[in-house]
Structure 1
Amino acid sequence: MICGLLDILGPEASRWRAKMRRHRYGRNETVFREGDPGDTLHVIDKGRVLVETTTSIGNVAALSVRGPGEVIGELALVGNGRRTASVTALEPTETLSLTQGMVEDLRTTDSNFDRYLVELLAEKLAETMAQLMEVLFVPVNSRVLRVVDRLATAFDDGQMPIVIRVRQEDIAAMAGTRRQTANRPLKAAEAKGAVRIGRGSVEIVDRELLRELGR
């Protein structure tokens, strides 16, 4: 992950932070919806969110989980002005937002910020392309376990076991498959002692083993 937005601002960070609006969301509360006008960029200060999109046939599919320090909503500010995905808080979450005007001001006056925004968009595009390549060329069992490993990074608080509070259907969607299919490699990983499957969660017991199984 590239350097955080507030780090990029350097000595000006505290001044800009004071201008940013703080938002608080409860568990399962919507941060914004796909198709809404997008006039703010959010930096996640606390908590984690689930990013989802609607498929061409009307199904809602999970894309990723974002956590502290990560930016959401930036694409609408440089694209067509509409949210391209829905974002929901997975736990009590706080964000700091910059308005479109503030973002445009920063892009004009701070070349580091403009470079950061370009790198952020490039990083997310590369992430999307890597996930697409996995769906096309990696067996589904490995894909599911790799998704769980990536989620472990998002939920890692420095303690074991790492508890991933994401539903199996969302894990399946991120792996480009169905819940029933995703359940099989998860059950196999549980039998080998890599994970524990709970109600609406997966606990990482042995991450190295999980990675080995996902190869």
Structure 2
Amino acid sequence: MIRDRGRTRIWKQGVVLFLEGDPPDSVVLIEEGLVKITADADNGYTSLLAIRGPGELIGEMACLDGRARSATVTAMQTVRGTAVTSDRFLALLEEHGPLALSVIRSITARLRDSDGLRADQGALPAGMRVARVLLDLALRHGSEAPGRPGGRALSVNQQELAGAAGTSRESVVRTLRRLQDHGLVTTSRGRTLVLDLRSLARWASS
């Protein structure tokens, strides 16, 4: 239904789809590629709130309440999606109950994830938080790594991992160094390769 009411658009890597503070003029259904959702604090600190991929809707919460965008959405690679104006999106929800219910369930799941992350930030040490964020991103959005059976590659830098885990970049560097020493990850500029998901899961819960 969303595809029928919108138009296909392409965003190159690094292009901003939505900017924090802008009015909610549209929503986007991602068809291909990944985007990152970030928010800037008054002190200049940038938090990575989420990464979204194919089949996921972005920008819908601002359209629902009519308030300014609460975060910036940036293409992490070339992204193809269906853009629908806010008016058409709201009309669709009014016309199709199952679609409205699906959107509500999606928002609820994201809020639960957010609550869980905040609980972790208050109860877990920084290293474990970084490992859990890395595992979650690898499982949800990692891509296959050529020559590394079972490995998952992530185009996420250290500052973004720090923002997602609610810790400092220095803590991320220390944690990644330990994970590398255990043979669980390798890193390069702006890229992290998870080599062993099962061992990382055990490490993140120990």
TM range (shorter): over 0.9
- 1:203 counterpart SS class: strand
- Counterpart position of 2:154: 164
8 Å contact kept, 1:75–1:84: no
Where does residue 33 of structure 2 map in the other structure?
A: 47
2: CA distance, partners of 1:120 / 1:106? 16
Structure 1: 5+ residue stretches without partners: 1-12
Does structure 2 retain, via aligned residues, the 8 Å contact 1:39–1:81?
Answer: no
User: Are 1:194 and 2:184 counterparts?
Assistant: yes
AA aligned to 1:154 is R
Cα shift at 1:164: 0.5
User: Which secondary structure does the structure 2 equivalent of 1:214 belong to?
Assistant: helix
How far the C-alpha of 1:161 sits from its partner, in A, is 2.2
Determine helix, strand or coil for the equivalent of 2:130: helix
Please, which of 169, 174, 180 is the counterpart of residue 164 of structure 2? 174
- Displacement of 1:138 after TM fit? 1.1
Structure 1 position 143, deviation (Å): 0.4
Q: How many residues align?
A: 201
Partner of 2:61: 75
DSSP 3-state at the match of 2:89: helix
Question: 5+ residue gaps in structure 2?
Answer: none
Note if 1:130 corresponds to 2:116: yes
Residue 85 (structure 1) aligns with: 71
Task: Give distance in 1, aligned partners of 2:109 and 2:151.
Answer: 29
TM-score, reference length from structure 2: 0.92
1:208 counterpart = 2:193: no
Which residue type is aligned with residue 202 of structure 1? T
Aligned-pair CA distance for 1:79: 1.6
Residue in 2 that maps onto 1:10: none
1:103 counterpart = 2:93: no
- Distance in 2 (CA, whole Å) between partners of 1:152 and 1:45 is 19
Conservation of the 8 A alpha-carbon contact between 1:24 and 1:94: yes
Kindly provide the CA deviation profile for residues 145-169 of structure 1, in whole angstroms up to 9, marking residues without a partner as x.
0010111023334553211111011
Report the AA paired with residue 126 of structure 2. Answer: V
Give the alignment's TM-score, normalised by structure 1: 0.88
